[in-house]
Structure 1
């Protein structure tokens, strides 16, 4: 096979990409974990010192109206957030990430797929199915515990990602699907790493840590495949990829306003406080800061692939506030 080049200086690129998930048989959660992800019998006792979801990731919990409502309300809102996150994860793994993986497995991308890359993609597909299973299993238990009945059939983010694909020209859709998977997997690995540092209910902690162990490998794999793919794209495809990547990253950090309003009203938070919370969360500055902080691993992978060596890409992402020019 011809030596790959950066497409910028036409010098061979020195790298050693493995296109594997490591020793998958002995490390993948679906093969090795013994956790059953059942809520512990002493869950209420654990909640005296632990959380459903880290409060630092839910800044609205610091609003005076919520603090005044007390610990039980805070736990309910955290549980609602976790259920929403798990429902979203279940759909993300099945409908978005595994569709992205299919573009690798079935040769839909505009690049040769080495056998090792395809084999790892098949393993990753299996992992994501298991992640959907344990996410759904835990979500159902927490929803039952708190009698959470109003759960969106389709979270806003999934709807918007599907809309992005729908408006993409058909001949570019496989590439767009892959880019969705790349952004998703590099973002979620960082999110899980941060979340797992907190003291959470034991079964939630077990599930998130198992998920993180897999996603750390998935993030590396998708970063390698993106690097490999980027070098094969022509100028037109690179322009499309750059614009699509920016749209995807922005979408991943939008707030689901309708769901959040519903969650807060379910906890009987006053409408005036809800308006203040939503205004703060949806401001341009807040959106940009979430994206800039949350997409660090994605932006690093882009940089290592030579993406920002193209001045237009640098300017595009700088104007969006994701990087410094």
Structure 2
């Protein structure tokens, strides 16, 4: 039997974002996220985006082009990332949160879970605001005009959700939010370890502070839901999670190609760079590392206690057999 009625009462005491009123960036941050007056000086020792996340910057043709090209490509990526974040927060994560707030999951939702979801919804709106504000400043600084671009990931997620049977639609939306929030918290932690332009560093650290709580919240809600799902819902969720996780680590080839061409790279260099980043093995390798927090949340919820789920994820290359 799988029913909300058998879920232990202690769950009702969880699902909180803590002292949200005092700590959420929407309330607490004093940062303006304005580009610094000494930007050019900072760029001598700081980055727009961590080079470790942009391995193609090590390509000989880019290194030979000099620092100005490297900075421009990093700025291109940061603007793309910020525009993506704005869309993700509004059109994906907050839509996922709505399934909790408005009872779309057809599960008994504790009041604390709803309250925290509404707080999280407010956070995400502010994340979209400051992401857009910083993107506009950097785009104006470099004269980046080919935006906003709808990232491939957003397009693919909407297509995947659009193909989902109605009976699983709300669960699908929640699962996308769960994967997104557990992945982005890990990504931001890694990004914040680098030395970035001061306003970018401030914004990403404020974002990380919120997303760490969001990741924990979504992990708890997933655990709660997992205990209530029927056998058919669990089967759907397992297969869907594999698709979502892998999708999050695909490369947006069209955008990257345009970015590289805008920096003056030739066809051979662009093809060489894309060849090293695309293809199923590269996607799986990135996913195994980048989705570590998501996979740990699944383990904690008992997801892999089902042998079939362990085998499914192992066949996809996401975990060991």
Q: Secondary structure at the match of 2:228?
A: coil
The answer for unaligned runs of 5 or more in structure 1 is 5-11
Aligned to 2:93: 97
Secondary structure of the corresponding residue to residue 48 of structure 2: coil
> Offset at 1:3?
4.0
What per-residue deviation string (whole Å, max 9, x for no partner) do you get for residues 4-56 of structure 1? 2xxxxxxx798786101011011100011011111011111000000000001
Per-residue CA distance 1:123-175 (angstroms, 9 max, x = gap):
00000000000000000000111111112531110000000110001121100
Matching residue of 1:174: 170
Q: Which segments of 5 or more consecutive residues in structure 2 lack a partner in the other structure? A: none
The residue correspondences of 1:154-169 to structure 2 (distance < 5 A) are 154-169=150-165
Q: CA RMSD in A?
A: 1.4
The answer to whether the 8 A contact 1:54-1:195 is kept is yes
- Partner residue of 2:37 out of 36, 41, 44: 41
Structure 1 runs of 4+ with >4 Å offset: 12-17
Residue 225 of structure 2 corresponds to residue 195 of structure 1: no
Contact 1:196/1:209, CA 8 A, preserved across alignment:
yes
* Aligned residue pairs, count: 318
Measured after TM superposition, the shift of residue 111 of structure 1 is: 1.3
* Residue 221 (structure 1) aligned to one of 196, 217, 224: 217
TM-score (norm 2): 0.97
Relative to the length of structure 1, the TM-score reads 0.96
Judge conservation of contact 1:187–1:297 (CA < 8 Å) in 2: yes
Q: Distance in 1 between matches of 2:314 and 2:143?
A: 44
Q: CA deviation at 1:110?
A: 2.8
Taking the TM superposition and a 5 Å limit, the aligned residue runs for 1:1-325 are 2-4=5-7, 18-325=14-321
Question: Partner of 2:220: helix, strand, or coil?
Answer: helix
CA contact (8 A) 1:152 1:259 kept: no
Bigger drift between 242-251 and 151-160 goes to 151-160
Counterparts of 2:5 and 2:264, CA distance in 1: 64
The alpha-carbon deviation at position 286 of structure 1 amounts to: 1.3
Distance in 2 of aligned mates of 1:165 and 1:45: 45
**Most deviating of 251-260 and 12-21:** 12-21
